[in-house]
Amino acid sequence: MIPESILLHLKTTAGIIVSHSQPAGGGSINSAARLDTNNGRYFIKWNQDVSTDFFQKEAEGLQTLRDANHPLRVPAVHSVLNPSQNSPGYLLMEYIEENRDGDSRRFGAELAKLHSNHSEKFGFHSDNYIGNLPQSNNQHKNWNDFFITERLEPQLTQSINSGKVNSSVKHNLNRLEARLDELIPPCKPSLLHGDLWGGNYLFDMDGNAILIDPAVYYGHPEVDLAFSTMFGGFSDNFYRGYESVSPLAPGFEERIPIYNLYPLLVHVNLFGGSYTRQLHSILRKYK
């Protein structure tokens, strides 16, 4: 059921009257539904137990992707409400009919074109979220400085403070951080989706790839590709398509575990368990 406070806000601020709602997948964090209204169909997700700017930051990320120069489809945002004591927050978006299959090779090629959008520095003009965890985006001129200071260290500190990892993880991670300049090639800051796993894209009825749930910033383009390997959901054609536009530097396969230390630390902080074991396994390789 859509909370009454949201229905009232939609009606009074946007003139949208909901006639029917159908529950939809909203990930592990939010509730979500398809809305049939007097003004057509929409997709909405809502939550009360998130930071006050949570949905505003997601809307900003979606708009950043929409404004960039690339052919990927990104849903339009129609309305945002920040959560309060009186109401959950919500994000109202364009509804896109989902198709089970699409053109994976074209998706990869189009992601490479997204990554051709550059900035002078790594980071973003504001912080945002990955999952429901804060993501620091202070800007740096050097990728490895950014990766250590804004990605690895904040998540490591949180995991240590919560008791989910011990000091040996910090020791081993710091040893790896000292070697990053020799392990990771330099690059221009590229616009990233930032949370590119198999649940954060879909295909429309014409086979076009659609990006959803971003955690945008300007970073190393290999990060999005590394993230895509964590949980599956991307075909070989996707990677072939990417390399048809932007060939990967030699040694990418060996760098994947390094980039994925960040999402692994995020998952350690969110869920613990097996993600902690994966973290230890990667760090042991770089002792």
Report whether 77 contacts 61 (CB < 8 A).
Answer: no
- The values of phi and psi at residue 74, to 5°, are -135, 130
195 is catalytic: yes
| Residue 225 tokens, joined | 């590709």
Longest alpha-carbon distance in the chain: 61
Helix (H, G, I), strand (E, B) or coil at 272: coil
- The values of phi and psi at residue 44, to 5°, are -130, 145
Report whether 23 contacts 1 (CB < 8 A).
Answer: no
Q: How many CB atoms lie within 10 A of CB 24?
A: 15
β-pairing, 201-204 vs 190-192, is: unpaired
Distance CA 250, CA 271 (A): 33
| Residue 3 tokens, joined | 């909370």
In 3-state terms the chain splits into helix, strand, coil percentages (rounded to 5) of 40, 20, 40
Q: How many CB atoms lie within 10 A of CB 8?
A: 11
The catalytic position among 53, 195, 213, 224 is 195
| Active site positions, annotated | 195
